[in-house]
Amino acid sequence: MKKRVTSLGGIFFKCADPKAQREWYAKHLGIPATEYGAVFDWRDAENPEVKGQTVWNPFKNETKYFEPSQKEYMINYRVENLAELLEELKKEGVQQIGEMQVYDYGKFAHIMDPEGNKIELWEAGADNV
């Protein structure tokens, strides 16, 4: 099997006012963000021709997207072959939450770690390599 996690795909956290948070981070830390967050573009160290992206985005405190985790954050990890990885994780007894979702910008699935943190796994689509 190829590498499981290839990089950090995104960091998401809960807050009372996502718009105000995005404005504060833009003003004070220079992170320009839309309602969908900020995207940091980068290149693969082993193959500089390969581009990648990491997303940063605040969510409203009331979001259900992080459930069943009760944590205030969720980390997204980029993977090379999500379907294959999910099969391996299933064999290892890792709990998957819901089904794999497929969009133009990639495939997503969620798992839980032993302490109840929901983890998002993302295989980037062709446009989000």
pTM of the model: 0.88
pLDDT (0 to 100) of residue 129: 58
pLDDT (0 to 100) of residue 75: 97
In this structure, is the dihedral angle defined by the CA atoms of residues 3, 100, 60 and 128, taken in order, positive or negative?
Answer: positive
pLDDT (0 to 100) of residue 24: 94
Amino acid 9 reads: G
pLDDT (0 to 100) of residue 55: 95
Question: In terms of residue numbers, what domain contains 59?
Answer: 5-128
Helix-, strand-, coil-residue percentages of the chain, each rounded to 5: 20, 45, 35
Overall number of domains in the chain? 1
pLDDT in tens for each of the 129 residues of the chain?
Answer: 677 898 999 999 999 999 999 999 999 989 999 999 999 999 988 889 988 999 999 999 999 999 999 999 999 999 999 999 999 999 999 999 999 999 998 999 999 999 999 999 999 987 665
Does residue 85 contact residue 128 with C-beta atoms inside 8 Å?
no
Distance CA 16, CA 43 (A): 33
pLDDT (0 to 100) of residue 1: 62
Q: Which CATH number goes with the domain that contains 110?
A: 3.10.180.10
